[in-house]
Amino acid sequence: MVAEVKAGKGRKSGSGGATGGADFDFEQGRARVFVGDCRAALKRVPEVQAGTVDLVFADPPFNWNRAYDRWNSTAEKQHDAAVVKKAAKNYDTWDDGLPREDYLDFTYAWLKACADGLRPGGQFWVNIPDDTAAEIVVYCKNELKLPMLNWCVWHYRFGQNRTGGFINSKVHALRFVKPGGQITWNARPILEPSDRATTYFDPRTMSKRDGMPAGFRVPMDVWYGPYFGRVQGNNKERRPGHDNQLPEAYLERVILSCSNEGDVVLDPFVGSGTTGTVALQYKRRFVGCEYSLANARSAWERMTNLGMVSPGKALGQSSAIAKARSASEKAKKRTRVNKPTDDAIA
Ligand SMILES: C[S@@+](CC[C@H](N)C(=O)[O-])C[C@H]1O[C@@H](n2cnc3c(N)ncnc32)[C@H](O)[C@@H]1O
């Protein structure tokens, strides 16, 4: 259950409006969640004001007309109905069907607020679908002057079916950095066996000198696999009422590689709390903002009481698509190992 619910600074509990209201904040140990529109709530985060945030991960509303706090009904059954009712009044579901111009203004505003809060060398990840990826890349590079370190793609199966065009099966995971400081990069915890080791039995992978253990590599920039599917149906990670939950494995990869223990991880769109749950599991400090109090309560329960479902399970897994070669193919392969086409194998 929620460990502590306190009134926002300078406000009486329950008195805020839908935009930037500060009715309830959650705080315990290494975790804090500020409830309200992140454009206003971020101003109440001391580390944002000081520019000392180490890592931002943002998974904003996509403007796809989704209801973001359907958790309300479940919450009413499980928690204090009076509090949730008051919250529903004060924090209407975020309008996920804004006119395009308004959505872009909103997007640029939270991007800037987050970038301002980063320390030099701090990293900024944004999870965004095709619709707005280009605008975000251009804005971050040209206006915010954030160099881009990686353009990753999260590939999932079971996208929305369609027949008039290709079925969408990806979201962009954009990685930027604020210039001027030490960039955290921990490859070791996120390594995976290389295809050369698991599938092609290429001896070169056992004697390579890139500083990584024999047979292992840094994952490629397209992310997929058993633990990277969309969190749907009877998935063990699934939180009731949250349709937009990211898999733990995705955040595990980001947080382990791009932050250290004790670092401040910020998520301006907490949702079901995946970022905070993973950050706390790995001994980071977590600060989040969430518009819906019902979502914030659900996320808080997950972060501080339930924790990760499968910590570490996705780590070290091969993402090879092809099956391992048979012994006879393996023998043939050894004789062909230096042919140029072989270099195409990652
Ligand atoms: C795509 S979901 C985030 C999902 C999250 N990454 C997870 O794994 O559960 C976006 C969340 O942002 C919240 N939200 C929408 N507009 C917001 C705003 N202006 N400020 C803060 N939170 C907002 C929504 O209520 C929703 O919970």
Rounded to the nearest angstrom, the distance between the alpha carbon of 59 and the centre of ligand 1 is 7
Q: How far apart are CA 237 and CA 118, in angstroms?
A: 30
Neighbouring C-beta atoms of residue 276, cutoff 10 Å = 32
Among 34, 45, 244, 300, the mutation site with the greatest number of ligand 1 atoms within 8 A of its Cβ is 244
Candidates 109, 232, 111, 242; CA nearest to 174 is 111
Binned at pLDDT 50, 70 and 90, residue 337 comes out as very low
Rounded to the nearest angstrom, the distance between the alpha carbon of 338 and the centre of ligand 1 is 50
Does any ligand 1 atom lie closer than 6 A to the CB of residue 37? yes
Task: Give the pLDDT score at 22.
Answer: 43
Neighbouring C-beta atoms of residue 285, cutoff 10 Å = 21
Angle (CA) 258 249 121, round 5°: 10
Backbone angles phi and psi of 151, in degrees to 5: -115, 90
Rounded to the nearest angstrom, the distance between the alpha carbon of 74 and the centre of ligand 1 is 18
Among 69, 94, 111, 251, the mutation site with the greatest number of ligand 1 atoms within 8 A of its Cβ is 94
User: Which residues are within 8 A (CB) of 225 and not within 5 positions of it... i.e. 6 or more apart?
Assistant: 249, 314, 317, 319
Task: Give the pLDDT score at 18.
Answer: 34
Q: What is the mean pLDDT of residues 116-139?
A: 98
Q: Do 146 and 136 meet the contact criterion of CB atoms below 8 Å apart?
A: no
Residue 202 has pLDDT above 90, yes or no: no
Tokens (6 digits) for 342: 């072989």
Mean pLDDT of the chain: 84
pLDDT, tens only, 220-268: 999 999 899 999 888 999 998 888 899 999 999 999 999 999 999 999 9
Taking CA atoms only, the protein residue closest to ligand 1 atom 17 is 291
pLDDT, tens only, 322-335: 888 776 666 665 55
Does any ligand 1 atom lie closer than 6 A to the CB of residue 244? yes
Does any ligand 1 atom lie closer than 6 A to the CB of residue 34? no
Any idea which residue has 């749950």 for tokens?
277
Domain ranges of the chain: 5-344
DSSP SS3 for 231: coil
Task: Give the pLDDT score at 1.
Answer: 31
How large a percentage of the chain has pLDDT more than 90?
A: 64
Neighbouring C-beta atoms of residue 7, cutoff 10 Å = 15
Residue 49 has pLDDT above 60, yes or no: yes
Tokens (6 digits) for 149: 């370190």
Fold of 5-344: Rossmann fold (3.40.50)
Instruction: Work out which ligand 1 atom sits closest to the CA atom of 110.
Output: 19
Does any ligand 1 atom lie closer than 6 A to the CB of residue 269? yes
Binned at pLDDT 50, 70 and 90, residue 61 comes out as very high
Does any ligand 1 atom lie closer than 6 A to the CB of residue 284? no
Does any ligand 1 atom lie closer than 6 A to the CB of residue 248? no
Query: What's the predicted TM-score (pTM) here?
Result: 0.85
Q: How far apart are CA 287 and CA 54, in angstroms?
A: 11
Q: How far apart are CA 198 and CA 179, in angstroms?
A: 38
Residue 11 has pLDDT above 70, yes or no: no
Rounded to the nearest angstrom, the distance between the alpha carbon of 296 and the centre of ligand 1 is 9
Rounded to the nearest angstrom, the distance between the alpha carbon of 58 and the centre of ligand 1 is 9
Q: Do 345 and 196 meet the contact criterion of CB atoms below 8 Å apart?
A: yes
How large a percentage of the chain has pLDDT more than 70?
A: 79
Does any ligand 1 atom lie closer than 6 A to the CB of residue 245? yes
Q: Higher model confidence: residue 23 or residue 50? A: 50
Among 235, 239, 290, 301, the mutation site with the greatest number of ligand 1 atoms within 8 A of its Cβ is 290
Binned at pLDDT 50, 70 and 90, residue 140 comes out as very high
